[in-house]
């Protein structure tokens, strides 16, 4: 164990960056290369890794976040990309990384949180994390307010088109939180990750409203993953630009800012992304949801 060195913040060191990416591809089938080669890895994303020689063998990453909720701002750390190479498991490397990060950051941040899959639900409570149930939000199209909204032309954006990419970068940098109830500020690095690697075939610019919407429609269900705007929007006006004649139900992957009393909310009981928070925030809100595009 003594020969493994703990390194961090190596985004400018090619050999470590590439080894980190190889491990991420192996464990999570995520290829970060397009993201960092386009200059999107900034100081908010810091890897803490053990190396054996030049090989990254275990990692836990820190994402510095500003979480906004009902007019308040919280300094938060979101953990992500927690992984150990199969050849180096059962040596306590992930435990050491977790303890190192918690000790380093817990005094200066309001809380630390992460999203975990089903295989590691027993791991994080060891470090004082508590499981928190998020909610889902949806709205029947028939319950949209009746005001008439002339449909605007949608322009699909292409991350590999330089002009479109500059537009995406500008919106990612200048966006305001998608929801006043629960949103994220200053997470352009993560948003660019979603633009480049996750929703690259689902990015549309709504010219009339000057917003970018990430959405897909399947089987009469419209899935609105994010609305990226530089100014406050009317959610229902934006949505009316993207619904089709076939749309029956709209699913929001963030807390909708709307006074429409027909928005349905309910606790999520089955998920691949279980939220863990440390320390637990006691704010008494029953239904909330971290925006999908802020998940590390």
pLDDT at 151: 72
Q: Please state, in angstroms and rounded to a whole number, the distance separating the CA atoms of residues 90 and 133.
A: 30
Q: Are residues 90 and 173 in the same domain?
A: no
Q: Establish if 88 belongs to a structural domain.
A: yes
pTM, rounded to two decimals = 0.93
Q: Are residues 209 and 125 in the same domain?
A: no
Instruction: Report H helices in 141-277.
Output: 162-174, 188-193, 235-242
Confidence of residue 263 (pLDDT cuts 50, 70, 90): very high
Count CB neighbours of 255 within 10 A: 25
Question: Across the strands, what pairs with 229?
Answer: 211
pLDDT for residue 282 is more than 70: no
Q: Please state, in angstroms and rounded to a whole number, the distance separating the CA atoms of residues 240 and 228.
A: 16
| Mean of pLDDT values over 14-25 | 98
Q: Establish if 273 belongs to a structural domain.
A: yes
Q: Are residues 225 and 282 in the same domain?
A: no
Task: Pick the range with the lowest mean pLDDT from 85-94, 108-117, 142-151.
Answer: 142-151
Q: Are residues 74 and 101 in the same domain?
A: yes
Looking up residue 144, the CATH number of its domain turns out to be 3.40.630
pLDDT for residue 1 is more than 70: no
Instruction: Report H helices in the chain.
Output: 14-28, 33-37, 93-105, 162-174, 188-193, 235-242
Q: Are residues 115 and 161 in the same domain?
A: no
Q: Which domain holds residue 108?
A: 5-133+269-287
Q: Establish if 261 belongs to a structural domain.
A: yes
The percentage of residues in the chain with a pLDDT greater than 70, rounded to a whole number, is: 96
Q: What is the DSSP string of 104-143?
A: HHTTTSSEEEEEE-GGGTTTGGGGT-EEE--EEEEEEGGG
Q: Establish if 294 belongs to a structural domain.
A: no
Q: Are residues 278 and 259 in the same domain?
A: no
Q: Are residues 178 and 94 in the same domain?
A: no
Q: Are residues 281 and 261 in the same domain?
A: no
Count CB neighbours of 258 within 10 A: 18
At 155 the three-state DSSP class reads strand
**DSSP for residue 294:** G
Q: Are residues 66 and 99 in the same domain?
A: yes
How high does pLDDT run on average in the chain? 93
Q: Are residues 111 and 159 in the same domain?
A: no
């Amino acid at each position: 164990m003594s020969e493994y060195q703990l390194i961090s913040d190596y985004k400018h060191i090619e050999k470590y960056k590439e080894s980190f990416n190889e491990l991420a591809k192996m464990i999570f089938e995520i290829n970060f290369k397009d993201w960092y080669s386009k200059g999107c890895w900034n100081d908010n994303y810091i890897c803490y890794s053990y190396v054996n020689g030049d090989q990254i063998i275990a990692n836990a990453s820190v994402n510095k976040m500003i979480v906004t909720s009902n007019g308040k701002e919280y300094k938060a750390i979101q953990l992500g990309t927690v992984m150990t190479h199969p050849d180096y498991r059962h040596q306590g490397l992930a435990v050491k990384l977790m303890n190192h990060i918690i000790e380093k950051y817990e005094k200066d941040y309001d809380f630390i949180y992460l999203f975990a899959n089903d295989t590691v639900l027993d791991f994080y409570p060891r470090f004082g994390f508590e499981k928190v149930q998020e909610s889902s939000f949806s709205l029947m199209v028939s319950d949209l307010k009746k005001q008439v909204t002339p449909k605007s032309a949608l322009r699909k954006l292409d991350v590999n088109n330089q002009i479109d990419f500059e537009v995406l970068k500008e919106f990612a940098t200048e966006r305001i939180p998608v929801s006043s109830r629960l949103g994220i500020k200053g997470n352009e690095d993560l948003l660019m990750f979603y633009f480049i690697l996750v929703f690259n075939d689902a990015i549309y610019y709504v010219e009339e409203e000057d917003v970018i919407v990430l959405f897909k429609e399947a089987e009469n269900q419209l899935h609105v993953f994010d609305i990226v705007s530089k100014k406050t929007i009317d959610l229902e006006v934006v949505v009316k630009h993207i619904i089709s004649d076939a749309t029956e139900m709209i699913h929001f992957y963030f807390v909708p800012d709307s006074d429409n009393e027909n928005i349905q909310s309910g606790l999520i009981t089955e998920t691949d992304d279980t939220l863990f928070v440390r320390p637990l925030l006691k704010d008494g809100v029953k239904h909330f949801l971290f925006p999908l595009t802020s998940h590390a």
